[in-house]
Amino acid sequence: MDNLQNVMAGFEVVLEPTNLLYCLVGVLIGMLIGVLPGLGPAATIAILLPLTYGIEPVTAIIMLAGIFYGAQYGGTITSVLLRLPGEASSVVTVLDGHALARQGKAGTALGIAAIGSFVGGTVAIVGLTFLAPVVASFALDFGPPEYAALALLGILLVSTIASGARVKALVAAALGLLLATVGRDAFTGTERFTFGSLDLADGIDFVPVAMGLFGLGEILYNLEERHRAVHAPGKVTNVWPSRSDLRESSGAVTRGSVLGFFLGILPGGGATIASMAAYAAEKKRAKDPSRFGKGAIEGVAGPETANNAAATSSFIPLLTLGIPANATMALMFGALLIQGITPGPQLVDQHPELFWGVVNSMYVGNILLLIMSIPLVGVFVRILRVRAAILAPITALITMIGAYTINNSVFDVLLVVVFGAVGYLMKKFGFEPGPLVLAFVLGSLLEESVRRSLLLFGGDPTGFVTRPISAVLLALFVVVAVWPLVQSARRRRPAQAPTPDREEASV
| 429 Cβ contact list (under 8 Å, min separation 6) | none
Q: Which of 23, 29, 26, 25 is nearest to 11 (CA)?
A: 23
Q: Which of 268, 272, 49, 43 is nearest to 172 (CA)?
A: 268
Least distance CB 455 / other proteins (angstroms): 5
Alpha carbon of residue 248 to chain centroid: 29
Least distance CB 204 / other proteins (angstroms): 12
Nearer to other proteins, 188 or 499 (CB): 188
What's the CA gap between 361 and 199, in Å, rounded? 37
Nearer to other proteins, 459 or 494 (CB): 459
What's the CA gap between 192 and 90, in Å, rounded? 42
Least distance CB 88 / other proteins (angstroms): 33
Nearer to other proteins, 135 or 156 (CB): 135
Which whole-number Å values give the CA distances from 444 to 3, 87, 155, 415, 459, in the listed order? 33, 30, 11, 19, 19
Least distance CB 414 / other proteins (angstroms): 14
3-state secondary structure (DSSP) of residue 443: helix
Least distance CB 338 / other proteins (angstroms): 8
Least distance CB 143 / other proteins (angstroms): 4
User: Which residues in this chain contact other proteins in the complex, by CB under 8 A?
Assistant: 53, 139-144, 184-191, 196, 198-199, 201-202, 337-342, 344-346, 407-409, 448, 452, 455-456, 458
Least distance CB 49 / other proteins (angstroms): 14
Packing angle, helices 144-161 and 166-180, rounded to 10: 140
What's the CA gap between 275 and 305, in Å, rounded? 8
Least distance CB 187 / other proteins (angstroms): 5
Nearer to other proteins, 59 or 76 (CB): 59
Nearer to other proteins, 177 or 338 (CB): 338
| Helices assigned H by DSSP within 339-376 | 347-350, 352-373
Bridge partners (DSSP) of residue 192 are: 183
Helices (H) and strands (E) in the chain, counts: 24, 2
Type and span of the H or E element at 191? strand 191-192
Say how many C-beta atoms besides its own lie within 10 A of residue 17's C-beta: 7
Least distance CB 246 / other proteins (angstroms): 48
3-state secondary structure (DSSP) of residue 253: helix
Nearer to other proteins, 183 or 269 (CB): 183
Nearer to other proteins, 201 or 391 (CB): 201
Nearer to other proteins, 187 or 240 (CB): 187
Least distance CB 198 / other proteins (angstroms): 5
**Is 415:204 a contact under the CB 8 Å cutoff?**
yes
Q: Which of 90, 382, 73, 374 is nearest to 238 (CA)?
A: 374
Nearer to other proteins, 109 or 139 (CB): 139
| 218 Cβ contact list (under 8 Å, min separation 6) | 38, 39, 40, 43, 423, 427
Type and span of the H or E element at 144? helix 144-161
Nearer to other proteins, 1 or 140 (CB): 140
Least distance CB 167 / other proteins (angstroms): 33
Nearer to other proteins, 291 or 452 (CB): 452
